[in-house]
């Protein structure tokens, strides 16, 4: 066993710690002080082991130049598609990995006292250990798929910590919203992975970088677009930015590492890692600059009007991360990496010290700058945080929910009746399938049954009415009925959500 293969244990140690905490808590549910000790010890030890291993690897790199990559085996193989247990040991991964392990260790140690006798003490340490594992996996993984695993683990642990106060409705709703927003980014990541597999045939970061040279601009741009979406969602760039403000519901130490210093930088890490790929797509670079500028402005403007310390810090972070995106978009990846490391360390300290600021800072909060106070519309925009969230709701959430309600009604009223026996409780009394007409032949259920019934009834009517009376009256009423149905369908189609659905369906067919 060589020294570089130790890197495989780095994310495993906190993961094992998380599993151990979960196992202990499943069997021992006491909330005593004594029960806190093993949990805290396991969590701290897990991250400490990671830190130690990383320090050994750092030292080994300095002394004898380790290889840039190691491959420890295969995690998942299916035909040509394989996910290797490969890790990156270059300066970017090792330095960021060490920083992450150090910050996680410090905030865990901080939390042992800070979270003492909190109701969710054990949950907190479980989630934070899981987060440390995910975060370390993101930066140390040698391929996109392994990074993606860390990416999602970080998302899940952030869900658990935002919803930390389980009895509060606001906190838990924010947790769901943050997770769903993150999920959009995850979808982008998956597009990037699938496109890399399709066009480059590999998921290793260095192969994606080198393979991009042989791609046309469109393919490289599509791969980049997937990853950039992922990065923008995780780093709370402009269309996705509001989730980070909602995420502050979590306990302070977790806010420090998640949204102050570590998770919010994961997107920047992804961009730096993909620098060779992004270099082949000017459009992607321009998009990154655009997102970065918009986010920096958004964070700066909204940050000016915040009145509580955590929100102010959070918007400052958003603005800084926006600047890092700008740096990446301009091709200054080294600068972005330095910026990332320094900002992460400083912001972690600030967030952890945030509760003490209340005592340290004497006097009222700083007033809104004069020039902003004068421009009322700008002031409102800042207070409303650019209306990003209502816009997102209006564009995505409301149509989807509306569609859901329509589909649910459709399912109960139409599909259910069409297929078979509708349950009596849910079928409407007004629309009994068979009128007690004298001409009704028999009663049928479901589409097949009703088809039979209709055929029988029509034959009977054909004999009784049409042959005797001629077409006029019946035909007119049938046409009038059809007209009513068509009008109802048209009214539905005029709703924006169905327009959207039609456009989406067209896209699905074209692709």
Partner 1 sequence: MGALPFLSLLLLIPVGGALAVWLWPQPARVRIVAAAAMGAELLVAIALVGCFDRSDPGFQHVERGPWIPSLNIEFLVGVDGISLLFLPLTVLLFIGVIVASWNFRRALPRLYYSLLLLQLAATIGVYCALDTLLFFLFWELSLLPLYFLVSLWGVGPNRRFAAAKYTLIMLASGVPLLFGFVTLAFNHAQVSGAALPGGLAFDLPTLLATPVSGSLQLIVFLLLLAGFAAKTPVFPLHTWLPALAMEGPVGVSALLVGLKLGVYGLIRFAVPLAPDIARELHWLLAGLGTVGILYGAVTALVQTNLRRMLAYAGLSHVGLVLLGIASFSIQGIEGALMQTLNFVLVAGGLFLLTGFLYRRTGSTDTVSLGGAIHSMPRLGGLFLLFLLAAIGVPGTSGFPAEFLLIVATLNSHTGAGLAALFGAVIGAGYALGMYRRIFLGPQTNPAVAQAHDLRPAEFGLALCYATVIVTIGFWPSLVLDLIAPAAKLWAGRVG
Binding site for partner 1 (CB under 8 A): 19, 22, 26, 29, 74-81, 145, 148-149, 152-153, 156, 159, 163, 166-169, 172-173, 175-176, 179-180, 183-184, 186-187, 190-191, 193-195, 197-198, 400-401, 403-405, 407-408, 411, 415-416, 418-421, 423-425, 446, 448, 504, 507-511
434, 457, 460 from 465: Cα distances, Å:
19, 11, 8
**CA–CA separation, 284 vs 212, rounded Å?**
13
CB-CB neighbours of 42 under 10 Å: 21
CB of 2 to partner 1, least distance (A): 23
List the one residue out of 103, 99, 161 whose CA is nearest residue 130. 161
475 three-class SS: helix
Nearer to partner 1, 19 or 330 (CB): 19
Nearer to partner 1, 263 or 336 (CB): 263
CB of 182 to partner 1, least distance (A): 8
Nearer to partner 1, 133 or 354 (CB): 133
- Count CA atoms closer than 13 A to 342's CA, side-chain side: 8
The backbone torsions φ and ψ at residue 285, rounded to the nearest 5 degrees and listed phi first, read -60, -45
Nearer to partner 1, 169 or 431 (CB): 169
Contact between 203 and 267 under an 8 Å Cβ cutoff? The reply is no
Nearer to partner 1, 208 or 285 (CB): 208
Tokens describing residue 22:
């979960």
CB of 431 to partner 1, least distance (A): 17
CB of 116 to partner 1, least distance (A): 20
List the one residue out of 427, 437, 439 whose CA is nearest residue 468. 439
**CA–CA separation, 272 vs 266, rounded Å?**
10
CB of 82 to partner 1, least distance (A): 10
**CA–CA separation, 29 vs 21, rounded Å?**
11
73 three-class SS: strand
List the one residue out of 261, 244, 392, 386 whose CA is nearest residue 315. 244
Contact between 336 and 288 under an 8 Å Cβ cutoff? The reply is no
78 three-class SS: strand
- Count CA atoms closer than 13 A to 290's CA, side-chain side: 9
CB of 44 to partner 1, least distance (A): 21
CB of 480 to partner 1, least distance (A): 28
Contact between 212 and 199 under an 8 Å Cβ cutoff? The reply is no
Nearer to partner 1, 276 or 446 (CB): 446
Nearer to partner 1, 341 or 449 (CB): 449
**CA–CA separation, 422 vs 45, rounded Å?**
59
List the one residue out of 226, 225, 227 whose CA is nearest residue 287. 225
1 class by beta-carbon count within 10 Å (0-12 exposed, 13-18 middle, 19+ buried): exposed
CB of 422 to partner 1, least distance (A): 8
Nearer to partner 1, 156 or 297 (CB): 156
Contact between 299 and 318 under an 8 Å Cβ cutoff? The reply is yes
CA dihedral 185, 190, 195, 196 (to 10 degrees): 100
Nearer to partner 1, 110 or 445 (CB): 445
Tokens describing residue 324:
């890092």
Nearer to partner 1, 400 or 482 (CB): 400
Instruction: Enumerate residues 6+ apart whose C-beta is below 8 A from 407.
Output: none
CB of 461 to partner 1, least distance (A): 27
CB of 287 to partner 1, least distance (A): 19
Nearer to partner 1, 154 or 302 (CB): 154
**CA–CA separation, 391 vs 78, rounded Å?**
42
CB of 412 to partner 1, least distance (A): 9
CB of 506 to partner 1, least distance (A): 9
Nearer to partner 1, 203 or 321 (CB): 203
């Amino acid at each position: 066993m060589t020294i570089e293969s130790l890197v495989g244990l780095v994310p495993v140690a906190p993961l094992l710690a998380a599993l151990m905490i979960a196992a202990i808590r499943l069997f021992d549910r006491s909330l005593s002080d004594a029960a806190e000790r093993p949990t805290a010890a396991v969590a701290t030890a897990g991250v400490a082991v990671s830190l130690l291993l990383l320090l050994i690897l750092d030292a080994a790199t300095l002394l004898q130049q380790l290889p840039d990559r190691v491959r420890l085996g295969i995690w998942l193989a299916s035909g040509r598609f394989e996910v290797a247990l490969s890790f990156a040991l270059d300066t970017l991964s090792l330095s960021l990995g060490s920083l992450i392990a150090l910050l996680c260790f410090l905030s865990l140690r901080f939390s042992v006292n800070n979270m003492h006798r909190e109701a969710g003490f054990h949950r907190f340490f479980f989630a934070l250990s899981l987060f440390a594992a995910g975060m370390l996996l993101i930066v140390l993984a040698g391929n996109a798929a392994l990074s993606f695993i860390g990416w999602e683990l970080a998302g899940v642990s952030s869900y658990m910590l935002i919803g930390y106060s389980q009895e509060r409705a606001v906190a838990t709703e924010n947790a769901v919203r943050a997770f769903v927003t993150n999920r959009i980014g995850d979808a982008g990541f998956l597009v990037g992975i699938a496109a890399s597999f399709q066009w480059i045939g590999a998921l290793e970061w260095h192969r994606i970088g080198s393979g991009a040279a042989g791609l046309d601009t469109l393919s490289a741009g599509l791969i980049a677009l997937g990853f950039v979406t992922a990065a923008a969602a995780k780093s709370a760039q402009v269309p996705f930015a509001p989730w980070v403000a909602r995420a502050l519901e979590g306990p302070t130490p977790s806010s420090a590492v998640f949204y102050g210093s570590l998770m919010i930088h994961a997107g920047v890490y992804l961009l730096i890692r993909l620098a060779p790929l992004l270099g082949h797509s000017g459009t992607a670079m321009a998009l990154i600059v655009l997102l970065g500028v918009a986010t920096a402005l958004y964070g700066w403007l909204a940050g000016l009007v915040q009145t509580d310390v955590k929100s102010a810090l959070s918007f400052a972070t958003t603005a800084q991360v926006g600047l890092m995106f700008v740096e990446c978009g301009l091709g200054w990846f080294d600068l972005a990496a330095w910026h990332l490391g320094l900002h992460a360390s400083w912001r972690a300290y600030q967030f952890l010290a945030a509760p003490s600021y209340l005592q340290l800072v004497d006097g009222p909060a700083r007033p809104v700058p004069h020039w902003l106070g004068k421009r009322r519309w700008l002031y409102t925009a800042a207070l409303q945080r650019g209306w990003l969230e209502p816009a997102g709701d209006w564009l995505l959430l409301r149509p989807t929910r509306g569609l859901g309600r329509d589909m649910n009604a459709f399912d109960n009223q139409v599909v259910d009746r069409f297929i078979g026996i509708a349950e009596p409780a849910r079928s409407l009394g007004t629309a009994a399938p068979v009128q007690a007409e004298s001409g009704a032949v028999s009663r049928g259920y479901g589409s097949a049954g009703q088809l039979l019934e209709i055929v029988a009834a029509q034959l009977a009517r054909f004999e009784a009415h049409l042959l005797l009376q001629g077409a006029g009256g019946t035909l007119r009423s049938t046409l009038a009925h059809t007209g009513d149905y068509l009008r109802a369908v048209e009214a539905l189609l005029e709703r924006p959500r169905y327009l959207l659905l039609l456009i989406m369906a067209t896209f699905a067919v074209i692709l």
